[in-house]
Amino acid sequence: MKRFYKEAGTAAMEGGWQVTLDGRKVKTQGGKQQIVPSAALAAALADEWAAQDEEIDPGTFVLRDLADYALDVVEADRAAVVATLLRYGETDTLCYRAEPDEPLHTRQIAVWEPLLKAAEARWDVHFERISGIIHRPQPAETLKRLESVLTAHDAFTLAALNTLASLSASLNIALAAIEPGADIAALWDAAELEADWQVEQWGEDHEATSRRERRLAAFTAAARFAELARV
């Protein structure tokens, strides 16, 4: 699609802010008015439009897609999105460790255990640690508490969490990533610990490295989206 506008801007609206293209208000892909909660997020969305060349590249609208997901999907059925996120808590990658006599287990303890203990302290819950890949249910009380934590978040934060959790296979990493001052690079390294371990053992694969970089960019963008939405 060719660029059809000259200027991207923002305007204050009832309930938030909205991107304008030559003064026309932008809508979501689902046809709703794309009203976001902060001027900072609206400005970042406008920057995506302003950065387009003569041909619009849909793949560069990372923040817009997250905003549309929040408005078109999350707001339509928050309970379903919360239920999806809870599944990442039930099978959180931080809880599944190698066998204790394996070298990988030592690194998992060093990197993952502090994150899991911090989550337990923050939410006053307990997570079962599992050696191996056989699923073991998490305590019902833990999942109930996590559900209340998720339900308290707005649609834009839930949209960010959906991306963060799916990329990291961890609800705990996702929740840590939306905390103010979060070390996003360290959290991503924790999420990729096992993949990086395999690279150390068997060597680097160019395609896998490129995929990791793309996934890191998406993870970083989702964390930034959550931050911008609450500014």
3-state secondary structure string, 43-101?
HHHHHHHHCCCCECCHHHCHHHHHHHHHHHHHCCCHHHHHHHHHHHHHCCHHHEECCCC
Instruction: Using CA atoms of 161, 162, 164, 168 in order, give the dihedral in degrees to the nearest 10.
Output: 130
Q: Identify the CA nearest to 161 among candidates 108, 94, 87, 97.
A: 87
Please tell me what DSSP assigns to residue 16. E
Decide which of 149 and 134 is more confident.
149
Are the CB atoms for 146 and 84 separated by under 8 Å? no
For range 147-152, the mean pLDDT: 98
Are the CB atoms for 174 and 161 separated by under 8 Å? yes
CA dist 83 and 32 (Å) reads 24
Is pTM, for the whole model, over 0.85? yes
pLDDT exceeds cutoff 90 at 204:
no
Instruction: Using CA atoms of 223, 225, 227, 231 in order, give the dihedral in degrees to the nearest 10.
Output: 180
pLDDT value of residue 225: 98
Residue type, 27: K
CA dist 30 and 118 (Å) reads 38
CA dist 146 and 83 (Å) reads 10
pLDDT tens readout for residues 4-39: 999 999 999 999 999 999 999 999 999 999 999 999
pLDDT value of residue 202: 80
Sign of the dihedral through C-alpha 96, 100, 103, 105 = positive
pLDDT tens readout for residues 211-221: 899 999 999 99
Task: Give 35's contacts (C-beta < 8 A, 6+ positions apart).
Answer: 13, 15, 16, 17, 18, 71
pLDDT value of residue 59: 94
pLDDT value of residue 9: 98
CA dist 56 and 106 (Å) reads 48
Rounded to the nearest angstrom, the gap between the alpha carbon of residue 208 and the centroid of all alpha carbons in its chain is: 20
